[in-house]
Amino acid sequence: MFSPPRRAVALAAALVAPLLAVSACSSSGGDDGAVDVLASFYPLQVVAQEVGGDRVDVGSLTPPGAEPHDVELSPAQVASVDGADLVVYQSGFQPAVDDALAQASPEHVVDATDVADLTTLRADEDADGHTEDDGHDHDGPDPHFWLDPTRMPAVVDAVADALTEIDPDGAETYRANAEALNARFAALDEAYTTGLATCEQRVFVTSHEAFGYLAQRYGLEQVGISGIDPESEPSPARLREVGEIVDAEGVTTIFFETLASPKVAQTLAADLGVEAAVLDPIEGLADDSQDYFSIAEANLDALRVALSCS
Ligand SMILES: [Zn+2]
């Protein structure tokens, strides 16, 4: 039996322990010595996790399975931005994350917009005769760089550099992990280049315009039903226009995605008598048995079927 004073000590310890755990979570570095990294959405989380390996704890500001464009942050998430050792985000993509960073001062930040060579692709698409339409209300550069694997290594290297600054003992690990990850992106690019080299079609129709960089890289043409923002509703005029393109180009398939509603794309495909299939913009994981690379490979297979590639 414990004597009463010891019981009091044990009780006090039990009360204090959760408080210690909470403060350890919010303090820089955590109690396990790992570097606390906060990524703003899935592809950046992949980069941070793969480069950091066992030396980092990576959290994401976008919940698994959520669509990242219009993410909203809880007060606790906003606070976590301030406490992170490194924040990896993409300015101009998620307004709530931009706001949180404007109020916080994490010691190290990697902004993918600064390193991923973003451009405004929509102007190119307008140049080939498709009329301006009202669904495209996004003024900044196209954010969806992660769908072109050749744009990822610059972000990988920036994350490796930032982690090395925070945790110099891990320098060799971060460099080796970055090189291994970049080799996987290079292999993926090779698979896309080969797989999409000889196709009967070059035009593909998607729900929202996430695949502009991919199209540019592999010589395809994306026709988005909605604009760059998956939440924007296409106008009847836009739906008619897409229908005309489908007829004129002999498009076999209208693609929908996993995190946004497939209804518009599926209805349009049914109306036009063409297939509907998944092309995933890899903005988050709808199914956690998948990952960036397995989804990218499934996307390649889906494009090869839809475009009749040999
Ligand atoms: Zn998107």
- Between the CA of 29 and the centroid of ligand 1 the distance, in Å, is 32
Flag whether 25 is in a domain: no
CATH number at residue 248: 3.40.50.1980
Domain region containing 62: 32-187
Domain identity same for 80 and 162:
yes
Domain identity same for 42 and 143:
yes
When mean pLDDT is compared across 23-27, 75-79, 273-277, the lowest value belongs to 23-27
- Between the CA of 292 and the centroid of ligand 1 the distance, in Å, is 15
Domain identity same for 109 and 177:
yes
Domain identity same for 180 and 226:
no
111-145 pLDDT per residue, tens: 999 999 898 875 444 433 343 443 444 568 999 99
Q: What pLDDT was estimated at residue 11?
A: 44
Q: What pLDDT was estimated at residue 223?
A: 96
Flag whether 7 is in a domain: no
Check pLDDT > 70 for residue 39.
Answer: yes
Check pLDDT > 70 for residue 26.
Answer: no
Q: What pLDDT was estimated at residue 33?
A: 87
289-306 pLDDT per residue, tens: 999 999 999 999 999 999
> Tell me, what amino acid is at 200?
E
Alpha-carbon distance of 150 to 128, in angstroms, equals 25
> For residues 54 and 130, which has the higher predicted lDDT (pLDDT)?
54
Flag whether 239 is in a domain: yes
Flag whether 119 is in a domain: yes
Check pLDDT > 90 for residue 150.
Answer: yes
184-193 pLDDT per residue, tens: 999 999 999 9
Check pLDDT > 60 for residue 239.
Answer: yes
> For residues 38 and 65, which has the higher predicted lDDT (pLDDT)?
38
Flag whether 10 is in a domain: no
Looking at mean pLDDT, say which of 77-86, 163-172, 223-232 comes out highest.
Answer: 163-172
Domain identity same for 39 and 181:
yes
Rounded mean pLDDT, 220-242: 90
- Between the CA of 63 and the centroid of ligand 1 the distance, in Å, is 15
Domain identity same for 66 and 182:
yes
Given 124, 155, 187, the domain boundary residue is: 187
- Between the CA of 66 and the centroid of ligand 1 the distance, in Å, is 12
Q: What pLDDT was estimated at residue 122?
A: 57
Degrees (nearest 5) of the Cα angle 283, 268, 144?
20
Flag whether 62 is in a domain: yes
- Between the CA of 231 and the centroid of ligand 1 the distance, in Å, is 9
Q: What pLDDT was estimated at residue 4?
A: 44
- Between the CA of 200 and the centroid of ligand 1 the distance, in Å, is 27
- Between the CA of 259 and the centroid of ligand 1 the distance, in Å, is 10
Domain identity same for 147 and 245:
no
- Between the CA of 50 and the centroid of ligand 1 the distance, in Å, is 23
- Between the CA of 121 and the centroid of ligand 1 the distance, in Å, is 14
Check pLDDT > 70 for residue 242.
Answer: yes
- Between the CA of 149 and the centroid of ligand 1 the distance, in Å, is 16
Q: Give the dihedral of Cα atoms 293, 57, 159, 89; nearest 10 deg.
A: 80
Mean pLDDT of the chain: 86
- Between the CA of 42 and the centroid of ligand 1 the distance, in Å, is 12
Domain identity same for 146 and 282:
no
Domain identity same for 203 and 182:
no
172-183 core/surface letters (b: 16 or more CB in 10 A; e: else): ebbbebbeebbe
When mean pLDDT is compared across 72-76, 132-136, 279-283, the lowest value belongs to 132-136
Flag whether 15 is in a domain: no
Flag whether 16 is in a domain: no
- Between the CA of 67 and the centroid of ligand 1 the distance, in Å, is 8
Given 187, 212, 228, the domain boundary residue is: 187
- In the chain, the number of structural domains is 2
Domain identity same for 63 and 121:
yes
Domain identity same for 176 and 46:
yes
Given 168, 187, 206, the domain boundary residue is: 187
When mean pLDDT is compared across 10-24, 137-151, 237-251, 260-274, the lowest value belongs to 10-24
Domain identity same for 181 and 55:
yes
